């Protein structure tokens, strides 16, 4: 299936500049920076190599919406966003100069200040490397941690609560491996419940990257950590994203997280400030 064209202000700014400069052709990315193609410009708009035409007013709308990514459909553009009746949450794909992030009711699900979602993902993965064997990823989101873990792991099981998030991920060029890599198994459900169904000691690594405490309290509970401890193999490691460990709220949350992880059985809990989280060892 042909991949849709997905654009943000970072891509269309080059086309608008080329128009101002009176150029007839310019290179822009049709997939949020992953690749480049040459588009032709005329008085009415731009044309992509495979024929898709976009009028200037659509490009101007994208330029005026720096918080949104847009998918091109039938010669016009649509914001990549959706409301979920299931969770009563509003999701949207927010661009950065690099990989986009997911906004859940306005809150970014990756770090974007002084870094970008891709670099953020690499920091998380690095804390539990080598990422080998069978990996559990408790919160799929845009699938960045699952995709990165699957580069070296045998298999990655990833769980997402809200199917609407996966609809957004499907349109995100940076999430495509989530749907194409046979090593990644996707589950829809509440991690709190799904984890209870796994066998004891069945994972070598766990990536726990939940939304902030106020959006998913259960995923920070001792009861949940006990389940993570149970399904982790001896010698296994868990990365738990917490937030900025140097901030006041981060300091408070991490103290409680570390205490509950130890109460759940983890023998050692190490702070990893660069990754905004902790690593717990079984
Ligand atoms: C911080 S994002 C995960 C980002 C992801 N690791 C990535 O690399 O793109 C958190 C995700 O957890 C999902 N979520 C929230 N509560 C959950 C639950 N109880 N079980 C599974 N997923 C949940 C949210 O819908 C959101 O997509």
Compute the distance from residue 72 Cα to the ligand 1 centre, in Å. 27
Q: DSSP secondary structure string, 58-127?
A: HHHHHHT-TT--EEEETTEEEE-EEEETTTTEEEEEE--SSS-EEEETTEESS--SSS-HHHHHHHHHHT
β-bridge pairing 107-108 and 89-94: unpaired
Closest ligand 1 atom, residue 241 Cα: 1
What's the pLDDT tens digit per position in 163-219? 999 999 999 999 999 999 999 999 999 999 999 999 999 999 999 999 988 888 899
159 lines ligand 1 (CB under 6 A): yes
Looking at residue 1, its pLDDT comes to: 61
Domain ranges of the chain: 6-78, 111-281
Q: What is the pLDDT of residue 198?
A: 98
Nearest ligand 1 atom, CA 210: 10
What's the confidence (pLDDT) of residue 114? 87
pLDDT reported for residue 214: 83
The verdict on the CB of residue 123 being under 6 Å from ligand 1 is no
Residue 58's pLDDT band (cuts 50, 70, 90): very high
Prediction pTM value: 0.96
Q: Are 68 and 92 in contact (CB under 8 A)?
A: yes
Q: Which residues of 21-45 are buried (b: 16+ CB within 10 A; e: fewer)?
A: eeeeebebbbbbbeeeeebebeeeb
CA angle at residue 235 from 234 to 240, to 5 degrees?
A: 100
Whole-angstrom CA distances from 33 to 40, 96, 162, 194 are: 18, 10, 27, 35
Q: State the residue for tokens 């052709």.
A: 25
Q: Report whether the peptide linkage leading into residue 139 is cis, meaning its omega lies within 30 degrees of zero.
A: no
**CATH fold label, 111-281:** Rossmann fold (3.40.50)
Nearest ligand 1 atom, CA 219:
19
């Amino acid at each position: 299936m042909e991949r849709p064209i997905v654009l943000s202000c970072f891509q269309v700014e080059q086309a608008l500049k080329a128009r101002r400069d009176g150029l007839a052709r310019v290179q822009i990315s049709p997939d949020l920076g992953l690749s480049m193609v040459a588009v032709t410009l005329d008085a009415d708009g731009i044309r992509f190599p495979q024929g898709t035409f976009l009028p200037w007013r659509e490009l101007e709308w994208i330029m005026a919406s720096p918080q949104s990514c847009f998918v091109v459909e039938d010669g016009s553009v649509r914001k990549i966003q959706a409301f979920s009746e299931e969770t009563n949450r509003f999701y949207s794909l927010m661009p950065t100069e690099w990989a986009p992030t997911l906004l859940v009711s306005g809150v970014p699900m990756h770090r974007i200040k002084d870094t970008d979602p891709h670099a953020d993902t690499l920091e998380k993965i690095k804390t539990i490397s080598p990422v080998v064997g069978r990996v559990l990823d408790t919160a799929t989101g845009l699938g960045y941690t699952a995709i990165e873990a699957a580069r070296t792991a045998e298999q990655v099981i990833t769980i997402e609560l809200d199917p609407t998030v996966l609809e957004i991920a499907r349109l995100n060029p940076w999430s495509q491996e989530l749907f194409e890599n046979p090593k990644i198994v996707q589950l829809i459900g509440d991690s709190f419940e799904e984890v209870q169904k796994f066998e004891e000691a069945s994972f070598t690594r766990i990536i726990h990257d939940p939304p902030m405490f106020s959006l998913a309290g259960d995923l920070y509970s001792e009861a949940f950590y006990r389940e993570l401890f149970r399904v982790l193999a001896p010698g296994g490691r868990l990365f738990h994203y917490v937030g900025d460990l140097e901030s006041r709220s981060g300091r408070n949350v991490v103290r409680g997280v570390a205490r509950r992880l130890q109460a759940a059985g983890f023998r050692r809990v190490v702070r990893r400030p660069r990754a905004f989280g902790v690593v717990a060892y079984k």
